[in-house]
Amino acid sequence: MIKVCILAGGSSYEREVSLSSAEEIYSNLNHNKYTAEILEIPKETSTVWIKKLLDSPPDIVVSALHGGLGEDGSVQGLMECMGIKYVGSKVLASALCLDKYISKTIMRANHIPVLDDVLIKNSSDLNISKDIINDMGYPLVVKPNIGGSSVGISIVKDFSELENAVNEVFLLKDHALIEKFVSGTEVTCGIIENESGLQVLPVLDIKTARNFYDYNAKYKDDNTSISFSSLPKFLQAMIHEISKKVFLLLNCQGYGRVDMIVREEQIIVLEMNTLPGLTSHSLIPKAASMESGGFSKFLDALIEFEMKK
């Protein structure tokens, strides 16, 4: 039996999503093949969980951590130091992809279409960038630079709303990333790495009654529609190729998810997720469920690939 440890919880504001992801992973593992346990990392700084790993090291770790130290390469680096195998991207890719501004800068330099943006560092004067922001034109999207699960995202129509939204992000102890709002079809594409290369999961269309795919639409609304993409086949093929290019460019490993928006046959990359949500409402499990074997087979493939390295 392969001993699997699922890391969950942590100190980020995505803690509850992480705990839900861990439960979904645990319930979908083949318990005839794995002995699994969920190891909850507390909100407060603690080394107790690290001692547990050292005292009884697993064969492999599957991380359900989202945001913060769990997704920025810190926990990945700790696993490397402890000599414990773990599923997913390693230190460099984890750090790069969690920082939206840095990862977009890399993609832009490599001719991958991304949205125009301005980064406002925490507690800095927004007025310094006012002319650049006005040139982008409203409406604009304001989001935490390293946050996930669409927490703290706002759509703003003027400078007054922008100031309020930026200050809300600052309260999350993050920098504010301001982007041009673009309407279109929101899509996502999951990727899994195996011995033969990269396998892309089905492209999914995301439809919600809300203004955008926010936290409630992701994790609470039952009427959010996630379906096989209705986009033309040539666009889906382009999405597959762009997703693979982004995955390789940012040095990702194991699996990930690329979020995009399609407008008038133009594909724009929003972000690369190295530890996407794996709850029952999340996109990767939904995409995997549309494939033969479902989410359980997806987890099997991830673990088996990492164990062979």
* Residue 86 is a catalytic residue: no
The number of C-alpha atoms within 13 Å of 296 and in the hemisphere containing its C-beta is: 10
* Residue 186 is a catalytic residue: no
* Residue 9 is a catalytic residue: no
Q: Which of 9, 10, 12, 14 is catalytic?
A: 14
Q: Which of 18, 257, 282, 306 is catalytic?
A: 257
Q: Which of 117, 259, 282, 306 is catalytic?
A: 259
Does an H or E element contain 189, and which? strand 185-194
Cβ atoms within 10 Å of 11's Cβ, excluding its own: 17
Question: How far apart are the two ends of the chain, measured CA to CA in Å?
Answer: 18
Q: Which of 219, 254, 256, 306 is catalytic?
A: 219
C-alpha closest to that of 249 among 138, 137, 124, 110 = 110
Q: Which of 18, 63, 149, 243 is catalytic?
A: 149
Strands 60-63 and 140-144: unpaired
C-alpha closest to that of 128 among 137, 119, 139 = 119
Q: What is the radius of gyration, based on Cα positions, of the chain?
A: 19
Q: Is 73 left (phi over 0), alpha (psi -120 to 50) or beta?
A: left
Cis peptide before 58 (omega within 30 of 0): no
Q: Are 186 and 205 in contact (CB under 8 A)?
A: yes
* Residue 158 is a catalytic residue: no
* Residue 15 is a catalytic residue: no
Q: Which of 20, 145, 154, 273 is catalytic?
A: 273
* Residue 273 is a catalytic residue: yes
Strands 117-120 and 60-63: unpaired
Task: Give the catalytic positions in this structure.
Answer: 14, 149, 219, 257, 259, 271, 273, 277
